[in-house]
Structure 1
Amino acid sequence: MANSPSGDSMTARIVRVLETFDADRTVQTIADIARRAALPSSTAQRIVAELAASGLLERDEDGRVRLGMRLWELALRGSLALRLRQAALPFMEGVQARVREHTQLAVLEQDEALFIERLSHPLAGANITRIAGRLPLHASSAGLVLLAHASPALRERVLSQRLRALSAETQTDAAVLRTQLERVRREGFVIAPGTVETVSTGVAVPVREGRRGPVIAALAVVLPRDAPTAGAVDELRRAAAGIESALAAP
């Protein structure tokens, strides 16, 4: 697609428009979109009009803009995330029935942990994770599992950057993290107290594409800080094995 005078392609500008929407900002004016996407108003208006014409965006009677159902439909067609979520959900429900806190599933996406499913008990403790939300790979139990099993090049790219702390206990020392990631690969799980919030402990295990395939997801629970974790590790391992078998089934 043609580049703009600033050098970014039409595809890049469309992505910037779509990225202005999130769970807390589901409806916007075109002026809002232009400002957040750092686009001229005329450019934002043209892109919104074209996306609305194809159903990827929708306008309400006041001219405000939201993501369109067509975008949701296209995203689900042949989606690996959808297939993984469908295979995982029955096993996640089994974990959740026993843990009764938070059970969640994450995949690696653009050097971050992207959460594609989460189950929570009404009385569960703190958890900032949302479906379709992201966390830095070094700063959650699921992210640490994904980072541990990522390619060496990706690990080094992540660890060579300035690592942001989400809480006072988030580990941001790359050397310490390398040792921790080696242990995650060796032991097959991670227990991460206080990494995201000081009142919680994350526990996570890898999910492979088949029993011997590459790691494609991390299955995790978020528990109160003082809760025992040994039973959670066992629950997650059984559930991960079930998901792997389901994915391998014809």
Structure 2
Amino acid sequence: MPRRAAFPSIADEHAAPGGAAAVDRAVTLLSLFAGGSGPYTLSALAEQTKLYKSTVLRLLASLEHSGLVLRQADGRYALGPMIARLYASYAASFSLESVVMPVLRQLVERTTESAAFHVRQGEHRLCLYRVDSTQPVRDHIKVGDLMPLTQGAGGRVLMAFAGTPGAMYERIRRDHLAVLCGDRVPELAGVSSPVFDAAGMLVGAVTLTMPKERLSPSHGPHVVRSAADLTAKLGGRFPRTVTE
């Protein structure tokens, strides 16, 4: 029989009335990643949840099997790809698509380049929505793709407004704009600006991508205007004055 803990776990302290203890504990494990401070070692997860390592290991096995958690090469645990799919469904259920997609389409019409909306997913960024350029030479990222958070204009914007220190991020926070060449792919350029909700919280980033030879000074104002427009549609207030 499993050992009875000397002290109640976090899940036990906040158990759902009439719920299942194993589910409460699994949800508590997943909730640790919400702060964006992962990946976690087994010891750290056990310490923060107040559960035995053996219990945490069994829970992780089930979560990993379902794709909710991913065990990395170094043995630490991070959120898995199923989280991205669930997030996409969550966003769609709140009609975010009906708000974001018209803004992206308008941005593509103005610039003839590809536009996307990125959100943070742990240590990655998820392409939640995208409208492709009609030009034959373009990047080929698809909706649902996960990319490194530390590469590309969209990822840099998400990191900047999460408080990441450094001169680059200070500049992005000041300008509410990232313009980068070759940061993710040597041949590509990206232009990105943050989107905020009614509470002033970062929702995601509007990003325009193109071959670096097609990067234009006009792209920055177009992207900022799109981010400001989307922020307004979400009930927020864009913190930068947007001019024509």
- Return the offset for 1:81: 8.1
Give the CA deviation at 1:148: 0.3
What TM-score do you get using the length of structure 2 for normalisation? 0.61
Please give the TM-score of this superposition, normalised by the length of structure 1: 0.60
Q: Residue type matched to 2:124 in 1?
A: E
Number of equivalenced pairs: 176
Matched with 1:95 is 107
Q: Structure 2: 5+ residue runs without aligned partners?
A: 1-21, 26-51, 73-81, 237-244
- Per the alignment, do residues 205 and 82 of structure 1 end up closer, same or farther by CA in structure 2, a change over 3 Å counting? same
For 2:172, the equivalent position in structure 1 comes to 184
Q: Cα RMSD over matched residues?
A: 3.3
C-alpha separation in 2, matches of 1:108 and 1:230: 27
Q: 1:232, 1:85 → 2: CA distance?
A: 23
Displacement, 1:82? 5.0
CA distance in 2, matches of 1:124, 1:85: 25
> Is 1:206 matched with 2:218?
no
User: Residues 50-199 of structure 1: matches in 2 within 5 Å?
Assistant: 79=91, 83-150=95-162, 152=163, 155=164, 178-199=166-187
Q: Matches of 1:86 and 1:9 in 2, distance apart?
A: 40
Pairwise CA distance, 1:240: 1.3
CA distance in 1, matches of 2:142, 2:182: 18
In the alignment, which residue of structure 2 is the partner of 1:17?
65
Unaligned ranges ≥5, structure 1: 21-35, 39-66, 157-177
Percent sequence identity over aligned pairs: 18
Give the counterpart letter for 2:57 in structure 1: D
Partner Cα distance (2:89, 2:197) in 1: 20
Distance 1:15 1:115, change over 3 A: farther
Cα offset, 1:90, TM superposition: 0.6
CA gap 1:241/1:218 in 2 versus in 1, 3 angstroms:
same
The answer (yes or no) to whether the contact 2:154–2:192 under 8 Å persists in 1 is yes
> 2:223, 2:118 → 1: CA distance?
13
Structure 2: which amino acid aligns with 1:116? L
Match for residue 231 of structure 1? 218
Q: Secondary structure at the match of 1:132?
A: coil
Report what 2:28 is aligned to.
none
AA aligned to 2:202 is: V
